[in-house]
């Protein structure tokens, strides 16, 4: 059953302080309301994966690895490859994380990141068919959070995107309905790069890229992913607060404009293999 994580007295006090600052357009770490923390992306760290990326967003650190297997397609989608995204918050990521199967937060994280990639049609799944109805590529994206300091949604999304952009998958030749793995590797067929932008509402302010401290005080959270044409392709509101319709219009504008500028940065960072 779903139940809210408890907030402490300290967090409630901190919230008061934070609201005061935000009323003056300031944040605890000195950033402006629309500023991201420093982003670093290292790709190719894991040679045993088909693709990998280690992303630091301020103190938040996540690692994504891509593994590609050959599998059967779903019976109702004989001409589509498979994309499966999993996330776990490792117990070393924070004093509050615990070993065990993914909890509702980790499941939501994986599903929202998956949605951004799937709905933007980032991967051309129709080009991942080897034998129609029988053999397709199955692309597994596994993300592990190494250090948790807020905005896991964007960090995870950037890591999966960067790992997919730089992945190399084996090429198969088909001989008499049998697959023969060739020496050659090929990149994944990519249509677009979706960019996730996560915002938090604290009091009346909308801030971008919240830290863990800010998340502990926030009323609500929202993640929007946009594609290269500036279309919104996935949204997830979170948290026990609400947004007004006007705020949601503002939020979409932020997501589209910041998305555009960050797309370039992320493509460049991911390309530096």
Partner 1 sequence: MSRLMSEEGIRIDGRRWNELRPVKIEVGVLKNADGSSYIEFGKNKIVVAVYGPKEVHPKHMALPDRSVLRCRYHMLPFSVEERKNPAPSRREIEISKITREALEPALILEDYPRTVIDVFIEVLQSDGGSRCAGITAASVALADAGINMRDLVAACAAGKVGGRIVLDINDEEDKMGEADMPVAYLPNLKQISLLQLDGKLTADEYRECLNLAISGCMQVYNMQREALMKKYFSTADKGGEDEEE
- Note whether 234 binds partner 1 by CB under 8 A: yes
* The two three-digit tokens of residue 98, written as one number: 């615990």
- Note whether 79 binds partner 1 by CB under 8 A: no
Residue 67 forms beta bridges with which residues? 140
**Please, which residue, 38 or 177, has the CB nearer to partner 1?**
38
- Note whether 239 binds partner 1 by CB under 8 A: yes
- Note whether 237 binds partner 1 by CB under 8 A: yes
What does the DSSP 8-state code read for residue 126? G
CB count in 10 Å sphere of residue 238: 18
- Note whether 153 binds partner 1 by CB under 8 A: no
- Note whether 248 binds partner 1 by CB under 8 A: yes
Tell me how many residues contact partner 1 (CB under 8 A).
69
- Note whether 88 binds partner 1 by CB under 8 A: yes
In sequence order, what are the residues at sequence separation of 6 or more whose Cβ sits closer than 8 angstroms to the Cβ of residue 238?
108, 220, 221, 222, 223
Write the binding mask 33 to 72 for partner 1: x where contact by CB under 8 A, - elsewhere.
Answer: ------------xxxxx--x------x-x-x-xxx-x---
Scanning 2-10, 129-137, 176-184, 202-210 for contacts with partner 1 by CB under 8 A, the matching segment is 2-10
**Please, which residue, 30 or 245, has the CB nearer to partner 1?**
245
* The two three-digit tokens of residue 8, written as one number: 């402490």
- Note whether 215 binds partner 1 by CB under 8 A: no
In sequence order, what are the residues at sequence separation of 6 or more whose Cβ sits closer than 8 angstroms to the Cβ of residue 20?
none
- Note whether 17 binds partner 1 by CB under 8 A: no
- Least CB distance to partner 1 at residue 104 (A): 5
Q: Which of 121, 128, 111, 156 is nearest to 229 (CA)?
A: 121
- State which of residues 132, 182, 253, 268 lies at the interface with partner 1 (CB under 8 A): 253
Residue 207 forms beta bridges with which residues? 200
Burial grade of 210 (CB within 10 A; 0-12, 13-18, 19 or more) = buried
- Note whether 126 binds partner 1 by CB under 8 A: no
- Note whether 181 binds partner 1 by CB under 8 A: no
Q: What is the 3-class SS of 36-94, one letter each residue?
A: CCCEEEEECCCCCCCEEEEEEECCEEEEEEEEEEEECCCCCCCCCCEEEEEEEECHHHC
Q: By the criterion CB under 8 A, which residues form the site for partner 1?
A: 1-4, 6, 45-49, 52, 59, 61, 63, 65-67, 69, 86, 88, 90-95, 99, 101, 104-105, 107-108, 110-111, 115, 119-120, 140, 142, 144, 146-149, 222, 224, 227, 229-245, 248-249, 252-253, 256
């Amino acid at each position: 059953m779903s139940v809210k994580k408890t907030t402490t007295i300290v967090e409630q006090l901190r919230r008061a302080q934070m609201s005061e600052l935000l009323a003056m357009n300031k944040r605890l770490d000195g950033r402006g309301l629309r500023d991201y923390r420093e982003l670093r992306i290292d790709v190719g760290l894991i040679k045993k994966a088909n693709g990998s990326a280690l992303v630091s967003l301020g103190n938040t650190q996540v690692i994504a690895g891509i593994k590609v297997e050959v599998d059967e397609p779903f019976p109702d989608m004989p001409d589509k490859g498979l994309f499966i995204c999993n996330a776990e918050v490792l117990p070393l990521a924070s004093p509050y994380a615990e070993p065990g199967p993914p909890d509702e937060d980790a499941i939501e994280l994986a599903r929202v990141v998956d949605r951004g990639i799937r709905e933007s049609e980032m991967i051309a799944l129709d080009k991942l068919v080897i034998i129609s109805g029988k053999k397709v590529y199955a692309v597994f994206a596994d993300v592990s959070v190494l250090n948790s300091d807020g905005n896991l949604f964007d960090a995870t999304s950037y890591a999966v995107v960067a790992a997919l952009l730089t992945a190399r998958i084996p090429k198969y030749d088909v001989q008499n309905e049998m697959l023969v793995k060739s020496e050659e590797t090929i990149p994944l067929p990519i249509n677009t790069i979706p960019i996730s932008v996560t915002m938090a509402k604290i009091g009346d302010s909308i801030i971008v890229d919240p830290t863990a401290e800010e998340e502990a005080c926030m009323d609500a959270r929202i993640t929007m992913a946009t594609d290269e044409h500036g279309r919104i392709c996935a949204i997830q509101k979170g948290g026990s607060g609400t947004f007004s319709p006007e705020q949601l219009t503002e939020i979409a504008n932020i997501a589209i404009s910041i998305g555009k500028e960050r797309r370039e940065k992320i493509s460049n960072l991911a390309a530096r293999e």
